[in-house]
Structure 1
Amino acid sequence: MAGTSQATGVAARVVAANVLDGVLHHGRSLKAGLGVALPALPDPRDRALVEAICFAALRIRHRADAALAAWIPSPLPKRDAPLRALLLAGFAQLDPLGLPAHAALAATVDAARAMGRAHQAKLVNALLRRAQRDGLPEGDWRDLWPSWLRGRLRSDWPDAVDAIVAGSANQAPTWLRVNRLRGTRDGYRQRLLDAGIAATAPGGFEDALLIEGSLPVAQLPGFGEGDVSVQDGSAQQVADTLALPAGARVLDACAAPGGKAAHLLERDPTLRLVALDVDPARLRKVGDNFARLHVGAQATLHAADAVDADGWWDGEPFDAILLDAPCSATGIIRRQPDVLLHRRERDLDALVLVQASLLDALWPLLRPGGTLAYVTCSILDAENAAQASAFLARTPDAEALPLGEAYGRPAGPGRQRLPGEQACDGFFYTIFRRGVDDARVT
C-alpha cells in the first residue's frame, strides 16, 4: 500500500510539472491543460493536489525564478524547461501550500526520475532542500504583470493599483450558488455544516454561500444531483441586474459554460431562454449544466455566432439580452493566473472590436422597452466604461439604467468591482434599456 501511495504521489507531481511546462513554455492555458490532465488521474485527492500545485506555482513564479537565478550558476537552457516547471511545482509545495516537506521533496525528486531526468535528481533535491531551509526570496507580485498591463492599471485605476494586484494575488474563496428549485440557502448551509464544512451567507447575494479556500466539488453534498453550483459572487449578481417578468424571452448571447443562464432559469423556469455559443463543444457544456441542475428543458441552444443573427434568429424580439462579452479576463487573474503570461496588448484591441460588434448586432434584436446587460470579467476601461459610453454615443435609442453600490464603484455608465472587493472577482456591469418608439425612456 505504501508503494502504491508513493507511486501515485509521484504521478501527480509529474502531471503538475507537465501542465506547468505547457503553460509556462508553450502558450497553453491553465484551464485547458488541467481539463486534459485531471480526468486521467483516478484519485480525486491527486486531482486536487495537481490543481493546487499549478495555481500556487504560477502565483509564486517571480519568487521561484529569483531563487533559481540566485542558487544555480547559470540560467537553465530551453531543453530544461520541463525541469524548471518541476522545480516550480516543488517550491509551491513548500511555500505557499505548506505540504509536509519530506513527502514533497521525496515525491518531486522521484518525479524527476520518472520524467527521464535521473541525472538531475540531485539538483532537484538540493534546490528544494535549500528552499526548505532558507525560504524563497521575497518578491513583488507586480513584477508578474506585463509592462503594458501595469500601464493600463496606472491609467485606469491610479489610486487602486496596489489593491488590484493584492486582490489578484490571493487565492479565491469558494462561492456556491444554491439551486432554489432544489432547496433553500439556509437548508443547504446546514447540509454543509453536517458534512463538517463551514460556510457564510454573505449579504447582497441572494443564492450564495461562501467557503474560505478551495474545495473540490466532489465534497459538496448534492453537487451531482444539481443542488448547488460553484460560481463567483460577481457572476451571481448578473441575475440581479435583469428584472424579468414571468415567461420573458431571454437571450444569453455568449452562454458557455452556462452558469448565468442556469441561474436565471433556477429563479424562473418559465423563461423562454435562448443560449448561444460559437463553439459547439462549449455549447454542449451548457446543455450538460442544464441537465445537472434540472433546468432548461424548454430552452433553445444554438451553436452560432451571435453577430450573424440571420443564421439563428427567428425574428421574435427578446425582452432581455445578456451579453457576457469575450474580454481580457483581467478581473479573474486570481482564478486564471496564466492570463498574466498570455495576454497581449494587441489582444485587447481585438477584443474591444469584438465587443462593439456584438453590442451593435444584438441591439436590434431587443424589443422596445427591453434591457441588455453588458458585463465583463475585465477591469480595463477600454472594455468597460469606455466601451459602454461609446455604445451610448452611437445608439440614440439606448439609455443606461442606474445600478446601486452593490455592484461596485461608479465607472462611466456602469459599475466596476475590483478583484477581491466583497471577496469577489473583478467585474463590470452596465444595463442598457431600449427606448420605446425610438424615444428615450425616462
Structure 2
Amino acid sequence: MVNKKEERARGVALKVLQEVFEKGAYSNIALNKELQSSQLSQADKSLVTELVYGTVARKITLEWYLAHEIADRDQLDSWVYHLLMLSLYQILYLDKIPNHAIVNEAVNLAKRGRGAEKFVNAILRAFLNKPLPDIAAIKRKNKRLSVQYSAPVWLVATLIEEYGQERAEAILASLFIRNKASVRVTDLSKVDELAQALSAEKSDLSPVGLVKASGHFAGSQAFKEGLITIQDETSQLVAPTLQLEGWEEVLDACAAPGGKTCHIASYLTSGQVTALDLYDHKLTLIEENAHRLGLANRVKTQKLDAVQVAETFGPDRFDKILVDAPCSGIGLMRRKPDIKYNKESADFDQLQEIQLAILDSVCQSLKKGGIITYSTCTIVRKENQDVIAKFLDRHPNFEPVALTHECSDIVQNGCIVITPEQYLTDGFFISQVRRKS
C-alpha cells in the first residue's frame, strides 16, 4: 500500500508539472517554490525532484508512448494527461517502486475528477499488460532519435549537423544522467582540505572546482564562511582566461547572478570590476554574492543594458571585458530539461543579433591591447563561433586570441568548446579577441 506521504509527494510533483507544461514555468523555479512551501520530508522532496525532472526530461518519449493508447489527448483534462505522463515515467524508468503501487497511487490522485480514475487505471494497466511500442520501428531517423532522446526534431538535426550523429547521440543520452553539484573553492590552497571536509571530489576541468553526485553545498559551514561558492565547473574556466594581474579596470557586461563577477574580483587588488545587469533584483544578487565572499570593495554594480556600454562609458575605459552573453542556454539542458521544448531553431538568429550588438558596443570602451572574453552556455555554432567570426569581420582592429586548456578534448580552433557528455557538466563555449595596439 502506498503511504500518504508518497501520495502527497506525487501530488506535489503533479502540481509542478502543471505549472511547467500549462503555464510555461521554469522547472527549477516552479519546483523550488513548491518544495519550500511543502511540509515534505527530505526523502519525499528527493522523490518529487526525481519525478518532475524525469518526466520533463522524457516528455516527448512519454507522449509518443501515450499516443498509442489515447486517441485524442485534447479530450482529456490536462491534469489527467500529466498524471498519466508522471505515472508512466515511474513505470518505465524507476525500478524501486512496484508497478501496482504506482497504478493505485495514480488512481487515488485521479479521484479528484469525475470518472477519471477508471480511465487512468485502464490506460496504465494497458502498458503493464502489453509489450511496449518499439521506438526502433520509427522509419525517419531524426524522428526516431527525437522520440528516443526526447528532443525536438530541430535540435536533433542541429546537433547531428554540428557534431555528427554519434556525438550528437552521446550528447543527448548524457542529458538523462543527473546533474552534479559543483562549487568553486575561493582559496586554491584549501582545495584538498575542503574536498575532504565536504566529501567531494576535485573537478577534472577546474583546479578550484569540487563536485559530488548530489548534495546541498549551500547548507554547509564552508559556504556560509565564503570558502566556497556555487558555480558550475565550466563557468569556473571563464575568469582565468582574462589573465588578471590585479590592477585592471574590468567590465562584466552581463553579470547576474555574479558567479563570474566574484571570480574576477578575487584576482583584483587595486583594480575593480563593474558588473552590469538590467534588473535591480539581479544586481542585489551580485552584491550579496560579493559581500559573502568578502569582495564587495572590488565590485561595483550598475543597472545598464550592455548594448549601451559605449555611449555610457565612452572610449578606452576598460582594460579587460567579459561578455557572458544572453543565449539559448542549450548547454544547460541537463539542469533545466524544459529548455529543450521552449526554444525554436529560429531563436538563434535573433540571439545572434543581440550577442553581436553587445560585442559591437563594449568593444568601443576597451583600451588598445585589451581583451574581450566571450562566453555562452550554449553548444550551437550560430551563437558561438559564428558570432566571433562576424565580430572579427566587422572589426578589423581586433584579432582572435587562442585559448588553451590541459584537457585538449575541449579545445577547438583556439576556443574552449565543452559539450555535456564529455565531463557531465553544462555545455559551454569560451572565446577571446584582442584589440590591436
Give the TM-score normalised by the residue count of structure 2. 0.85
For residues 268 and 191 of structure 1, the distance between their equivalents in structure 2, rounded to whole angstroms, comes to: 28
For residues 286 and 93 of structure 1, the distance between their equivalents in structure 2, rounded to whole angstroms, comes to: 39
Counterpart residue type for residue 212 of structure 2: I
1:148-297 superposed matches below 5 A:
148-158=154-164, 160-180=167-187, 184-193=190-199, 199-212=200-213, 214-217=214-217, 220-268=220-268, 271-297=271-297
Per-residue deviation, 1:304: 1.6
Match of 2:61 in 1: 63
1:41-120 superposed matches below 5 A:
41-43=38-40, 45=42, 46-72=44-70, 74-77=71-74, 79-101=76-98, 107-113=105-111, 116-117=112-113, 119-120=115-116
Change (3 A) 1:107 1:186: farther
Counterpart residue type for residue 12 of structure 1: A
SS of the equivalent of 1:276 reads strand
Match of 1:21 in 2: 18
Change (3 A) 1:8 1:272: farther
Change (3 A) 1:293 1:104: farther
Counterpart residue type for residue 243 of structure 2: A
For residues 138 and 171 of structure 1, the distance between their equivalents in structure 2, rounded to whole angstroms, comes to: 25
* Number of residue equivalences: 423
Match of 1:302 in 2: 302
Task: Give the stretch that moved more between structures: 102-111 or 238-247.
Answer: 102-111
Per-residue deviation, 1:361: 0.4
SS of the equivalent of 1:86 reads helix
8 Å contact kept, 1:205–1:237: yes
8 Å contact kept, 1:407–1:416: no
1:12 partnered with 2:16 = no
Q: CA RMSD in A?
A: 3.0
SS of the equivalent of 2:210 reads strand
For residues 271 and 23 of structure 1, the distance between their equivalents in structure 2, rounded to whole angstroms, comes to: 43
Percent of aligned pairs sharing the same letter: 30
For residues 126 and 220 of structure 1, the distance between their equivalents in structure 2, rounded to whole angstroms, comes to: 47
Give the TM-score normalised by the residue count of structure 1. 0.84
Deviations 1:236-270 (A, max 9, x none): 11122110011322111111111111222345465
1:404 partnered with 2:411 = no
Task: Give the stretch that moved more between structures: 125-134 or 367-376.
Answer: 125-134
Deviations 1:311-362 (A, max 9, x none): 7538771121111111111222111211111101221111010000000000
Per-residue deviation, 1:310: 6.4
List gaps (5 residues or longer) in structure 1: 194-198, 437-442
List gaps (5 residues or longer) in structure 2: 136-143
Counterpart residue type for residue 374 of structure 2: Y
For residues 84 and 287 of structure 1, the distance between their equivalents in structure 2, rounded to whole angstroms, comes to: 43
Counterpart residue type for residue 62 of structure 2: A
Match of 2:117 in 1: 121
SS of the equivalent of 2:28 reads helix
For residues 45 and 303 of structure 2, the distance between their equivalents in structure 1, rounded to whole angstroms, comes to: 31
For residues 362 and 268 of structure 1, the distance between their equivalents in structure 2, rounded to whole angstroms, comes to: 21
For residues 215 and 165 of structure 1, the distance between their equivalents in structure 2, rounded to whole angstroms, comes to: 24
For residues 132 and 221 of structure 1, the distance between their equivalents in structure 2, rounded to whole angstroms, comes to: 48
1:434 partnered with 2:426 = no
Match of 1:196 in 2: none
Change (3 A) 1:79 1:369: same
